[in-house]
Amino acid sequence: MPLPATMTCIEIPQPGGPEMLKPAIRPLPTAAPSEVLIRVEAAGVNRPDCIQRMGNYAPPPGTTDIPGLEVSGEIVQIGNQVTDWAVGDKVAALVAGGGYAQYVAAPALQCLPIPAGLSMLEAAALPETCFTVWSNVFERGALQPGETLLVHGGSSGIGTTAIQIASQRGARVMATAGNAEKCQACLDLGAERAVNYRDEDFVEAAREFGGGKGVDVILDMVGGDYIARNIKSLAADGRLVQIAFLQGAKAEVNFMPVMLKRLTITGATLRPQSIARKGEIAAALKQQVWPLIAAGKVKPVIFRTFPLEQAADAHTLMESSQHIGKIMLKT
């Protein structure tokens, strides 16, 4: 069946609130030599999409201005340098943009097979969170079996993924969340300890969780005054991995404990990294994480799904922080 000339997508005509997301008709993208063109079945909604919509997270040079960082769907076209995929293959893919659309071009290296037992909707919830968690917690943070991990925002898409993968790989996990329901969700997913940050000090809880010494690794997306508190929460030789700054990127920090405890402070954003680097992460996920998903030991937590045309409602829900797990769009 021939491909259509146009597609429905979501545009951001100008920066602003969720109401700025508007359905539009655009020409169909085409696959570059090392890309595949995917007919999108579902796309994940992520916090960076909201930041882009506000005008504070521009796509990398040469990337479409259509938001959306992860999709699932069927390959309908392959570039002439692609050898690992064929038309008709069903994949989940990480993209640097363009996911909020009926079709998107994705680097072949950033595509992964749909894990056994998962629906296409569930598969679309995997790439952004799994790539982020694996590269930050296990590569940069070097979390080992038997170590302790503190996950801030444990009920978020990133958080629910980190809790499951880390606990399944033999780490002991503690999480923070904003209410009792979210804390219970963290416990249900494999966290041993969940702290409601509104009425309990996570620093003291982290020290206790680590046997009086603190935790080995912290995954933080909050920033602000959490940075200094995270340093207090780490054990000797601990690692703080920063992936976002919901409360700001600036903080006053006493670095003496960093020296005395031999701490590592690191961080990364996924989107600007090279296709080759993302391909390395994809290969690691296929080997290390996809078997856990196929075995039912790790599963995406989906809170709510909206039609593509209701992307504005999905962003409104995301910014309310009422969700547990992922918010999705269905084409």
Residue-wise pLDDT for 168-205, tens only, equals 999 999 999 999 999 999 999 999 999 999 999 999 99
Write down which residue in 267, 287, 321 finishes a domain. Answer: 267
End-to-end CA separation in angstroms for the chain = 19
CA distance 193 to 181: 14
Token look-up 């990480």 returns 94
Residue 1 belongs to some domain of the structure: no
- Could you tell me if 221 and 109 lie in one domain? no
- Pair 174, 214: CB distance under 8 Å: no
The encoded tokens of residue 172 equal: 């002991």
The predicted pLDDT at position 1 comes to 74
Cα atoms in the 13 Å half-sphere on the side-chain side of 205? 18
- Pair 43, 100: CB distance under 8 Å: yes
Mean pLDDT over each residue of the chain, to the nearest integer = 97
Orientation angle between helical segments 157-168 and 180-188, nearest 10 degrees: 30
- Could you tell me if 256 and 275 lie in one domain? no
Token look-up 């405890």 returns 261
Q: In Å, how far are 143, 205, 243 from 194, measured between CA atoms?
A: 19, 9, 20
- Could you tell me if 295 and 319 lie in one domain? yes
Count of structural domains, the chain: 2
Q: In Å, how far are 54, 193, 225, 306 from 247, measured between CA atoms?
A: 16, 23, 8, 28
Q: In Å, how far are 22, 55, 58, 62 from 26, measured between CA atoms?
A: 12, 21, 20, 17
- Could you tell me if 196 and 161 lie in one domain? yes
Structural domain including 40 reads 6-126+271-330
The predicted pLDDT at position 127 comes to 98
The predicted pLDDT at position 46 comes to 97
- Could you tell me if 135 and 198 lie in one domain? yes
CA distance 237 to 134: 20
Strand intervals (E) in the chain: 6-11, 22-27, 35-45, 70-78, 90-94, 103-107, 111-113, 148-151, 172-177, 193-196, 215-220, 234-242, 264-267, 302-307, 326-330
- Could you tell me if 115 and 37 lie in one domain? yes
Could you say which residues of the chain have pLDDT below 70?
Answer: none
The predicted pLDDT at position 41 comes to 98
Phi/psi at 127 (nearest 5 deg)? -60, -55
Cα atoms in the 13 Å half-sphere on the side-chain side of 96? 21
Amino acid in the structure at residue 80: N
- CATH number of the domain to which 326 belongs: 3.90.180.10
Region of 190 (left: φ > 0; alpha: ψ -120 to 50; beta: rest) is left
CA distance 208 to 244: 26
Question: What single string gives the DSSP state of each residue in 270-300?
Answer: STTS-HHHHHHHHHHHHHHTHHHHHTTSS--
- Could you tell me if 111 and 181 lie in one domain? no
The predicted pLDDT at position 95 comes to 98
- Could you tell me if 320 and 240 lie in one domain? no
- CATH number of the domain to which 174 belongs: 3.40.50.720
- Could you tell me if 122 and 238 lie in one domain? no
- Could you tell me if 65 and 192 lie in one domain? no
Helix (H, G, I), strand (E, B) or coil at 185: helix
- Pair 154, 176: CB distance under 8 Å: yes
Write down which residue in 267, 295, 313 finishes a domain. Answer: 267
- Could you tell me if 15 and 36 lie in one domain? yes
